[in-house]
Amino acid sequence: MKSEEKIPILRIEDALLASIQIPLHDKLALEFQHDLMVSIEKTRAKGLIIDISAIDVVDSFITRILVEIARMASLMGVKTVIVGLRPEISITLVEFGVQFDGIETALNLEKGLEKLRVWKSK
């Protein structure tokens, strides 16, 4: 489970897609943030979609990482949409008191892409 883990970043239309399938820890999260920003620069992607449908626990740590990613991407002129929040995750997050500050969400990948397209056409 250590060091060689990586979260793949794929290209879809003119956006980047990363699906988090393994539990994030500090080191992996930092690498992930770095990889995403480098990919944004390299591909000149216009949007970023992060799929968290495979994550069964969204705690304050992962929330912080996601909020940071959205902020970093925003500094590079890229919009972020988090997709795939399961019902139980949404319920828990609200009760927990987490603020998804400045984060856009969508039900799934398809809706996330739609959201990016609407922004682009504006």
Partner 1 sequence: MEIKVACEYDIVIARSAAKTEAKKLGFTIVDQTRIATAISELARNIVVHGSDGIVRIEEIEKGDRKGLEIWAIDRGPGIENIELALKDGWTSGGGLGIGLGGAKRLMDEFEIQSEVGKGTKVRVVKWMRN
Task: Give me the residues that bind partner 1 (CB under 8 A), please.
Answer: 1-2, 23, 25-26, 56-61, 63-64, 87-89, 91-92, 95-99
3-state secondary structure of 18: strand
Tell me whether residue 101 or residue 122 sits nearer to partner 1 (CB atom). 101
Tell me whether residue 25 or residue 44 sits nearer to partner 1 (CB atom). 25
Tell me whether residue 37 or residue 98 sits nearer to partner 1 (CB atom). 98
Tell me whether residue 88 or residue 110 sits nearer to partner 1 (CB atom). 88
Burial 1-37 (b: 16+ CB within 10 A, else e): eeeeeebebeeeeebbbbbbeeebeeebbeebeebbb
Quick one: which of 48, 57, 108 has its CA closest to 83?
Answer: 108
Closest approach, Cβ 92 to partner 1, in A, equals 5
Sheet with 104-106, edge to edge strand ranges: 9-12, 15-19, 47-51, 79-83, 104-106
Closest approach, Cβ 13 to partner 1, in A, equals 32
Closest approach, Cβ 82 to partner 1, in A, equals 16
